[in-house]
Structure 1
Amino acid sequence: MVRSDARENRARILAVAREAFVADGNISMNQIAGLAGVGAGTLYRNFPTRDALVLAVYQDEIERITGTAPELLAEMPPLEALRDWTIELVSAMRKKHGLGDALSGTALQAITEQSYGPVITALTKLLDAGKADGTIREDADPGDFLQLTGALWRAASSPEDRAPRMLALILDGLRTRG
């Protein structure tokens, strides 16, 4: 069993690293330890390499996002839940691209492989809920949706974020026509 202080240290390191890597992809592991208020030994015990830390940051974010799909479906209609969930995913993907300086090629490949399955599973739940209530087309495919939304996190965020408009077009294409 992991001690509560060890869990708190790990969570603090992940939170600090998430922000630090986005702000400066070249930040050192020792700087992250300092910002998190832990010693280098604690950092390296939890994350033996820079790639291990980057992967953990990203995996933590994916788990958080994919875990929200059932909650969103409980709170709102499927199309609204899909919209809100996709906005969160886009935000995470933009951060991932912001982590670019911190990622090695191997880490980038590992992130893609680790996140694809959970993201597709969450998307399947959201799309299936819409198919069940008749608001989403029966031929809507989670892989197709994910590929289409890939353009959203690449959409220029300045001077204007085009992602919400683009997402509205994608969602409109998913609607059943009656």
Structure 2
Amino acid sequence: MTRPPARPMRADAVRNYERILTAARAAFAEQGSQAPLDDIAQRAGVGNATLYRHFPTRQALLEAVHRDHIEALCRQAKELLAAPSPSEALMSWLKAVVAQGSTARGLAASLMAAIGTQEESWCRDAVFASASALLARAQQAGAVRPDVTVRQLLKLVNAIALATETEPDRDEQVGRLLDLLLDGLRATSTS
């Protein structure tokens, strides 16, 4: 069960929150991240005002729906910081980001939107912190180009997830595109 916000809520508000999340998960799985919010409210059996009271923006709803996936990616990043090879740790995590994007339709769009926003976003902050730690470690080891930024890295990996989300040969395409990305990230000597 996804946690409702930290503020205290009445029992009926908690039920509505969970019903909205259940309806949103189904709608996003069927229609992608642009599923109409009015349809989600109707599917949940609540009014639009109730949906917007809990989730004032589409991004807030997407982040709540994908909270468990995002938290899992952040836990994995933390574990990978202890891996012997900084570059392999980063690559494993990037593959996990794309894999999560394929199992949770709309996650890549949610992450992409969070990356591009200047609004306060726990999702963006958590993913940036995870990616930053792994990227910095790989750069310090000389395995990744020093001019690669976290924002660039996340945009590229989420673009791969978005571009391949509905492809029948998705796994093959993801593998090839990640290989190309990883080749471009590698630090090269200038001798």
TM over 0.5: yes
The code of the aligned residue for 1:141 comes to: T
Separation in 2 of the partners of 1:68 and 1:12?
A: 29
- Does 1:118 pair with 2:123? no
Q: Which residue of 2 aligns with 1:160?
A: 169
- Does 1:58 pair with 2:47? no
Unmatched runs of 5 consecutive residues or more in structure 2: 1-5, 9-14
Q: Is the 8 A contact 2:19 2:44 kept in 1?
A: no
Out of 148, 156, 159, which is 1:151 matched to? 159
Q: Residue 184 of structure 2: SS of its match in structure 1?
A: helix
Out of 163, 169, 174, which is 2:180 matched to? 169
Out of 18, 23, 47, which is 2:30 matched to? 23
How far the C-alpha of 1:126 sits from its partner, in A, is: 0.8
- Does 1:128 pair with 2:136? yes
Q: Is the 8 A contact 1:58 1:111 kept in 2?
A: no
Q: Is the 8 A contact 1:131 1:137 kept in 2?
A: yes
How far the C-alpha of 1:142 sits from its partner, in A, is: 1.3
Q: Which residue of 1 aligns with 2:147?
A: 139
Q: Residue 122 of structure 1: SS of its match in structure 2?
A: helix
Q: Is the 8 A contact 1:55 1:111 kept in 2?
A: no
Q: Flag the 1:82–1:28 CA change in 2: closer, same or farther, 3 A.
A: same
Q: Which residue of 2 aligns with 1:105?
A: none
Q: Flag the 1:53–1:170 CA change in 2: closer, same or farther, 3 A.
A: closer
Unmatched runs of 5 consecutive residues or more in structure 1: 3-8, 34-39, 101-107
Separation in 1 of the partners of 2:137 and 2:43?
A: 45
Q: Which residue of 1 aligns with 2:79?
A: 71
How far the C-alpha of 1:119 sits from its partner, in A, is: 2.3
Separation in 2 of the partners of 1:15 and 1:133?
A: 43
RMSD of equivalent CA atoms: 4.2
Q: Flag the 1:124–1:14 CA change in 2: closer, same or farther, 3 A.
A: same
Separation in 1 of the partners of 2:147 and 2:40?
A: 47
How far the C-alpha of 1:62 sits from its partner, in A, is: 2.5
The code of the aligned residue for 1:96 comes to: G
The code of the aligned residue for 1:18 comes to: R
